[in-house]
């Protein structure tokens, strides 16, 4: 789209439903994700010519359930390179599957230190669907990414006219265009044909791992979901297998059952880094002595999957428990 009007922007495609197709326009659930290239998404949206001069790159074209650490590394490396090399670039938009979009957004928030907007966008309906939401979502993501209002806000997600922060956003419904929300605090702002509406309050903290290089082999961090009478065998099995990190999706405010706590207490070897998140989906997890004695740190208001992303990066960085605890406090 070079030669178009407006600020220069980079579009990085990774796949997802926004790039998905089905044989029939009435098929909303039975489709293949990650089929159409990002260039074709752009060609189908000539309205973008009016607001930005966009250069496209395809990083991957997959269902986001199939994203792996290598995709993450490729995306982070390329994004850092683009931002470092092109000082005249206004911002970056990343098309992404919705299923794990919040994890990639949070990963980038922890790794990318740049005032220019990085906006992730997806769609709940495939590109071939009646009333596909991808084109408008993409248009609005570009609106946000080139706006002055979005500078300094870090990594954002634009879906259904709402602008969410990478930290708060999560997918909360399996279907419907309004599937994304920011628990407790609501979206950062809105985007519509009057422009980008972001109250001038949130100031971004520096990215925690801005200098971290991502490895080819990542640590093993497992999420365990709390429930009535959890398995007694799982924790010893994971510890014997040498996992380097555990995230507990505890009940209530991040509570582990006595079965789980006993399994940790009885383990003879060193315990991995461990975080307590919660399965309620809203509200904080605070420090608790019974759990702290076992080395479990509270994940605050991070979802289990975002706590895992933080733990992965902390392990890659070589953090010990004290350093990880200070990161949780300072966020
Ligand atoms: N399975 C799709 C994905 O995450 C779902 C979507 O994009 O909405 O890639």
Q: What is the pLDDT of residues 254-267, one digit of tens each?
A: 999 999 999 999 99
Please state the separation of Cα 96 from the chain's center in Å. Answer: 10
- Report the C-alpha gap between 155 and 120 in whole angstroms: 8
Can you give the pLDDT at residue 206? 86
Read off the pLDDT band of 4 (50, 70, 90): low
Query: How is residue 201 written in tokens?
Result: 């309050």
Contacts with 178 (C-beta within 8 Å, 6 or more apart), sequence order: 160
26 labelled catalytic: no
Q: Which pLDDT belongs to residue 108?
A: 98
Q: How far is CA 270 from CA 183, 266, 317, 318, in A?
A: 35, 11, 19, 16
- Whole-number Å distance between alpha carbons of 151 and 146: 9
Is residue 283 very low, low, confident or very high in pLDDT (cuts 50, 70, 90)? confident
pTM of the entire structure? Answer: 0.94
What pLDDT sits at residue 202? 57
Is residue 330 scored above 80 in pLDDT?
no
Cβ of 122 closer than 6 Å to ligand 1, yes or no, is yes
Q: Are 237 and 95 in contact (CB under 8 A)?
A: no
Percent of the chain surpassing pLDDT 70: 97
By the 8 A CB rule, do 85 and 35 touch? no
CB of residue 134 inside a 6 A radius of ligand 1: no
- Specify the pLDDT at position 34: 96
60 lines ligand 1 (CB under 6 A): no
Residue 41 has pLDDT above 80, yes or no: yes
pLDDT digits over 87-108, tens only? 999 999 999 999 999 999 999 9
Q: Each residue of 62-74: pLDDT tens digit? A: 999 999 999 999 9
Nearest to 136 by CA among 124, 151, 148: 124
Q: Using 50, 70 and 90 to split pLDDT, how confident is the model at 150? A: very high
Phi and psi torsions of 74, nearest 5°: -60, -45
Q: Of 14, 17, 100, 249, which residue is the catalytic one?
A: 17
Ligand 1 centre and the CA of 110: distance in Å? 23
Closest CA to 120 of 201, 11, 7: 11
99 lines ligand 1 (CB under 6 A): yes
Q: Which residue ranges form the domains of the chain, and what is each CATH number?
A: 8-197 (3.40.50.1170), 221-330 (3.40.50.40)
Question: To test the ligand 1 pocket, which listed residue (65, 66, 128, 157) has its Cβ within 8 A of the most ligand atoms?
Answer: 65
Distance between Cα 225 and ligand 1 center (Å): 23
Q: What residue owns the CA closest to ligand 1's atom 8?
A: 98
Using CA atoms, how far residue 125 sits from 19, 22, 41, 131, in Å, is: 10, 10, 14, 8
Q: What is the pLDDT of residues 180-232, one digit of tens each?
A: 999 888 899 999 999 999 987 656 788 999 999 999 999 999 999 999 999 99
């Amino acid at each position: 789209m070079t030669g178009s009007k407006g600020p220069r922007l980079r579009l990085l495609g990774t796949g997802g439903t926004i790039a998905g197709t089905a044989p029939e326009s009435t098929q909303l659930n039975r489709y293949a994700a990650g089929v159409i290239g990002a260039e074709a998404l752009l060609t189908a949206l000539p309205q973008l010519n009016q607001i930005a001069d966009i250069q496209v790159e395809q990083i991957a074209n997959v269902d986001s359930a199939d994203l792996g650490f290598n995709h993450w590394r490729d995306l982070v490396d390329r994004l850092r390179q683009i931002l470092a090399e092109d000082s005249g670039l206004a911002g970056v938009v990343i098309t992404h599957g919705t299923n794990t979009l919040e994890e990639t957004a949070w990963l980038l928030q922890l790794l990318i230190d740049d005032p220019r907007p990085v906006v992730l966008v997806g769609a709940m309906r495939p590109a071939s669907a009646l009333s596909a939401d991808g084109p408008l979502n993409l248009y609005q993501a570009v609106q946000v990414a080139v706006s002055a209002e979005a500078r300094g806000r870090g990594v954002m997600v634009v879906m259904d006219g709402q602008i969410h922060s990478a930290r708060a956003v999560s997918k909360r419904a399996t279907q419907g265009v309004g599937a994304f929300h920011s628990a407790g605090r609501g979206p950062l702002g809105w985007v519509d044909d009057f422009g980008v509406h972001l109250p001038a309050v949130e100031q971004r903290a520096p990215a925690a791992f801005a200098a971290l290089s991502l490895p080819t082999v990542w640590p093993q961090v497992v999420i365990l979901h709390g429930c009535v009478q959890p398995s007694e065998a799982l924790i010893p099995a994971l510890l014997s297998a040498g996992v380097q990190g555990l995230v507990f999706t505890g009940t209530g405010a991040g509570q582990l059952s006595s079965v789980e706590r006993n399994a940790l207490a009885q383990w003879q070897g060193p315990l991995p880094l461990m975080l307590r998140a919660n399965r309620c989906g809203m509200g904080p997890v605070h420090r608790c002595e019974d759990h702290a004695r076992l080395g479990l740190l509270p994940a605050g208001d991070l979802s289990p999957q975002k706590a895992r992303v933080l733990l992965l990066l902390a392990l890659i960085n070589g953090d010990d428990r004290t350093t990880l605890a200070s990161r949780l406090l300072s966020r």
